[in-house]
Amino acid sequence: MDQTYIKKKPFIKNLDQLLFGFPIISSYGVQDFLVDSSNEAAHKILSSEELRPPHGLVIWGKPRVGKTHLSHVFQRTAKAIFLTEDDLMQIRKGQDITVPHKTFIVDSLEDVVPSYQNELFHLYNVLREKGGFLLITSQKSPGEWEIPLKDLESRLKTFLAIEVQTPSDSLLEAILTKKCTDLQIAAEPKVISYILTHGERSPDALQKLLEDLDYFAFSQGQKITIPLIKTFMDQQLAEREGFEPSIRD
């Protein structure tokens, strides 16, 4: 049989509606955080109050290398508070949000600056006066920051900064296995190995691929197998070119 292509609409269309009521579950539990050389330094410091530097810490790295999960681990162990937009609006209105909390987390500096840079600067000053602590995550190293409010930039650059690097091969495999647990997928080890071999080797891309495969398998009424993965990847390649594979004699 020959394989030809016909023009098509997006392959997985309105599947979110089909899957309504089946939410993706993310697990940020302390016991779920996986440690290796890529994140060990940041994890060690945040896990120990004695090792924690005064005032604040920056952990930075590429998307989905584990910064948010590590922040959640710190939140639980240090009883820290994730800074929200509502918190920043309260600061803008002159309210003190550091009562009774003195340990805060800014998960993604890029989402706060420059829109709330003045409010973040105020929080920094208040926490410094009260002996508080500020954990900041960022996709860029402090040396790459371009914060318009230079007083804020100079203060935050005094924080110790630790890079969370791309996970090793063994940790990528463990991350995928954990993601299968989050999505309630019973995947065989050979399926995990195939995804690692044929997918883009980054935590973000691999986890997104697994989510898409889960959607696709559900729509086909099948479990995730290597043949299904091959079919899915062929469909995705065809979709990027604007065509749909069609089998004919």
Task: Give yes or no: residues 42 and 141 share one domain.
Answer: yes
Distance CA 109, CA 127 (A): 17
Distance CA 182, CA 228 (A): 20
Residue 10: pLDDT band (50, 70, 90) is very low
For range 46-60, the mean pLDDT: 94
Residue 21: pLDDT band (50, 70, 90) is very low
Q: What pLDDT is recorded for position 55?
A: 94
Q: What pLDDT is recorded for position 243?
A: 56
Task: Give per-residue pLDDT as tens, 94-144.
Answer: 999 998 899 999 999 999 999 999 999 999 999 999 999 999 999 999 999
> Of the residues 163, 185, 218, which one is the last residue of a structural domain?
163
Task: Give yes or no: residues 149 and 190 share one domain.
Answer: no
Domain count for the chain, please give it. 2
> Of the residues 163, 180, 196, which one is the last residue of a structural domain?
163
Q: What pLDDT is recorded for position 59?
A: 98
Q: Classify the C-alpha dihedral 175-176-179-180 as positive or negative.
A: negative
Q: What pLDDT is recorded for position 199?
A: 86
Say if CB 137 and CB 67 are below 8 A apart: yes
Domain membership of residue 20 (yes or no) is no
Task: Give yes or no: residues 143 and 188 share one domain.
Answer: no
Whether pLDDT at 179 is above 90: no
- Supply the DSSP string of 43-104, one letter for each residue: HHHHH-TTTSPSSEEEEE-STTSSHHHHHHHHHHHHT-EE--HHHHHHHHTT--TTSS--EE
CA 187 from chain center: how many Å?
A: 22
Could you tell me which residue, 199 or 118, shows the higher pLDDT?
Answer: 118
Residue 14: pLDDT band (50, 70, 90) is very low
CATH number of 60's domain:
3.40.50.300
Task: Give yes or no: residues 46 and 153 share one domain.
Answer: yes
H or E stretch covering 121:
helix 117-130
Task: Give yes or no: residues 68 and 156 share one domain.
Answer: yes
For range 224-233, the mean pLDDT: 94
Classify 248 as helix, strand or coil: strand
Residue 30: pLDDT band (50, 70, 90) is confident
Could you tell me which residue, 27 or 163, shows the higher pLDDT?
Answer: 163
Residue 88: pLDDT band (50, 70, 90) is very high
C-alpha torsion angle, residues 209, 214, 219, 224 (rounded to 10): 100
Task: Give yes or no: residues 114 and 210 share one domain.
Answer: no
Nearest one of 104, 167, 166 to 136, comparing CA atoms: 104
CATH number of 234's domain:
1.10.8.60
Say if CB 206 and CB 212 are below 8 A apart: no
Domain membership of residue 7 (yes or no) is no
Share of the chain above pLDDT 90, in %: 60
Task: Give yes or no: residues 65 and 156 share one domain.
Answer: yes
Task: Give yes or no: residues 42 and 159 share one domain.
Answer: yes
Nearest one of 127, 21, 219, 53 to 106, comparing CA atoms: 127
Enclosing domain of residue 216: 167-243
Mean pLDDT of the chain, nearest integer: 84
Distance CA 221, CA 107 (A): 37
Task: Give yes or no: residues 49 and 149 share one domain.
Answer: yes
Residue 182: pLDDT band (50, 70, 90) is confident
Burial class (CB in 10 A: 0-12, 13-18, 19+), 88: buried
> Of the residues 100, 129, 163, which one is the last residue of a structural domain?
163
Distance CA 226, CA 213 (A): 11
Task: Give yes or no: residues 82 and 137 share one domain.
Answer: yes
Question: What does pTM read for this prediction?
Answer: 0.74
Q: What pLDDT is recorded for position 13?
A: 37
Domain membership of residue 132 (yes or no) is yes
Whether pLDDT at 46 is above 70: yes
Task: Give yes or no: residues 71 and 107 share one domain.
Answer: yes
Task: Give yes or no: residues 81 and 191 share one domain.
Answer: no
Say if CB 89 and CB 97 are below 8 A apart: no
Share of the chain above pLDDT 70, in %: 85
